[in-house]
Amino acid sequence: MKRQHISDAVIRRLPRYYRYLDELHAKGVVRISSNSLGKRMGITASQIRQDLSCFGEFGQQGYGYNITALRAEVGHILGVDEKHRLIVVGAGHLGHALLQNFDFVSSGFRLDTAFDVSPALIGSTINGVLIRGINELEDYCAAVHPAVAVLTVPKAVAQETAARLISLGVRGIWNFTNMELTVESGIFVEDVHFADSLLTLSYRISAAPQLEKESS
């Protein structure tokens, strides 16, 4: 294992490894080789071994990888066992949908509170999560020190809300606002750009038939 910079490409593959290992683990499979995992995932065995070698030596020659152990290792690398505190800021349709559908716990986060401005929502509970007024944000953060905030507020207040969260000690923002946020170094923003995602699909279905025409 070489102590080195971990590239973004490697980091973005880790959750996928974790997902596959979790599934194999749930199925009760005990061991797997880089070769057969690669076949399942549609990537090369070399890439898997190369990626894992950034973090340690988790396999055994002639045997492969123990799934339970490797799953735990990858989970540890991703930080799922750190049980970071998380808050949802903005409990509109999207925030509501995430609170209802998304399993924050199995991604290694703890949450008990969402924030919103709407008096109609404040005091109610979604999937066991209490909705508080945004004016309680300062007190809550001072007490609980959430590490991550899910930003599902309207675009117009995205940047100011992000700055406010960062000033309260939040270090990671899961950004659904379709705005590119400006943040200081040491703060991490993970964007979920719905429009960008859908547009790549638009490109592919638009470009594909053209390619057919060209080759005919």
List interacting residues with a second copy (CB under 8 A): 3, 6, 11-12, 14-16, 18-19, 77-80, 82, 84, 92-94, 96-98, 100-104, 106-109, 147-148, 171-174, 186, 188, 190, 192-208, 214
Query: Within 10 Å of residue 86's Cβ, how many Cβ atoms?
Result: 23
76 binds DNA (CB under 7 A): no
Q: Residue 205 and residue 210: Cα distance in Å, rounded?
A: 9
Backbone angles phi, psi at 105, to 5 degrees: -65, -45
Closest CA to 54 of 40, 68, 73, 39: 73
62 is in the binding site of which of a second copy, DNA, none (Cβ under 5 to 8 A by kind)?
DNA
Instruction: Establish if 103 lies at the interface with DNA (CB under 7 A).
Output: no
- Residue 89 CA to residue 133 CA, distance in Å, equals 10
Q: Does 45 bind DNA (CB under 7 A)?
A: yes
State the nearest-atom distance from the C-beta of 165 to DNA, in Å: 29
| 64 is a site residue for DNA (CB under 7 A) | yes
60 binds DNA (CB under 7 A): yes
How many angstroms separate the CA atoms of 173 and 28, rounded? 35
The answer to whether residue 213 forms part of the interface with DNA (CB under 7 A) is no
Size of the site for DNA (CB under 7 A): 27
Question: Which residue among 63, 188, 194, 203 contacts DNA (CB under 7 A)?
Answer: 63
Residue 66 contacts DNA per CB under 7 A: no
Cβ proximity of 149 and 89 under 8 Å:
yes
Q: Which helix (H) or strand (E) holds 211?
A: helix 194-215
Is 53 a residue that touches DNA (CB under 7 A)?
Answer: yes
The letter for the amino acid at 159 is Q
Question: Could you tell me which residues come within 8 angstroms of residue 54 by beta carbon, excluding any fewer than 6 positions away?
Answer: 1, 2, 4, 6, 10
What is the spatial distance between Cα 140 and Cα 87, in angstroms, rounded to a whole number?
10
Q: Which of 14, 18, 24, 59 contacts DNA by CB under 7 A?
A: 59
The nearest distance, CB 181 to DNA, in angstroms, is 21
- Is residue 42 within the footprint of DNA (CB under 7 A)? no
CB of 132 to DNA, least distance (A): 41
Out of a second copy, DNA, none, what residue 92 binds, judged by CB under 5 to 8 A for its kind, is a second copy
How far is Cα 62 from Cα 163, in angstroms, rounded to an integer?
A: 52
Among 22, 33, 41, 69, the residue binding DNA under the rule CB under 7 A is 33
